[in-house]
Structure 1
Amino acid sequence: AKLLRAFPEVLIMIKGISAAARSVFFTIFLLILVLYIFGIAFTQICSGPDTPSDLRAKFLNVPESMLTLLFHGVFMDDMVDLLTPLRQNALAFA
C-alpha cells in the first residue's frame, strides 16, 4: 500500500490493466472460436482420400487443425506451403 501511495502511476497502470482484462478475455475467446470453426471446416475438407498426406497430417483432427492455423496465422512462415495443397483440395478456402 505504501508503494502505491509513493508511485501513483503504478496504481493508474493497475487500474488500466484491470479495466482492459474483460476486453482482452473476450477478444481471445472470439479468436479461439474462429480457430475452432475453421479447424472443423479444414478437418472435414482434408479428410478425403484424395488429400495429400502432408496436408492430411496438418489437419488430422480439430485440435491439430487449430494448432496448425494458429502457428501459420501467427508466424506466417511458409504460408505458401500450407495454402498450395489446400487450394488444390478446396479452392474456396485458399
Structure 2
Amino acid sequence: WGRNQNGQLGLGTTEDSPVPQKIKAFQGISIKMVAAGAEHTAAISKEGALYGWGWGRYGNLGLGDRNDRLVPEKVSTLNVSQQASKIYL
C-alpha cells in the first residue's frame, strides 16, 4: 500500500493504494524476501527467482532496459538461490 506513481506496488496500475493488496502476479509463487525502494521493488521467490518492478529509468530493475514495470517481472538472466541472501535498493 502507499504511493504508486511508478507501479512500485505491482498492482498493474499507477494508482495509489490506501490498504494492502495481494499482487496477482505472485499467485502460486512463494516469496522469500522483498525489498522496497521509494519507486521500485524487488523480490526473491523461495525457488530463487528474482523479480523487479516499478521505476526502471536507470536499469535498476535488472531487466535489461530502462522501462517502468507495473507488475513484477522475472529477471531471466539470474537465479539468486545460491548467490544472494539480501537485496539492496
The TM-score, its normalising length taken from structure 2, stands at 0.24
Q: Which structure shows the higher helix fraction?
A: 1
Larger radius of gyration: 1
Greater RCO, CA 8 A, separation 6+: 2
TM-score (norm 1): 0.24
The structure richer in strand per residue is 2
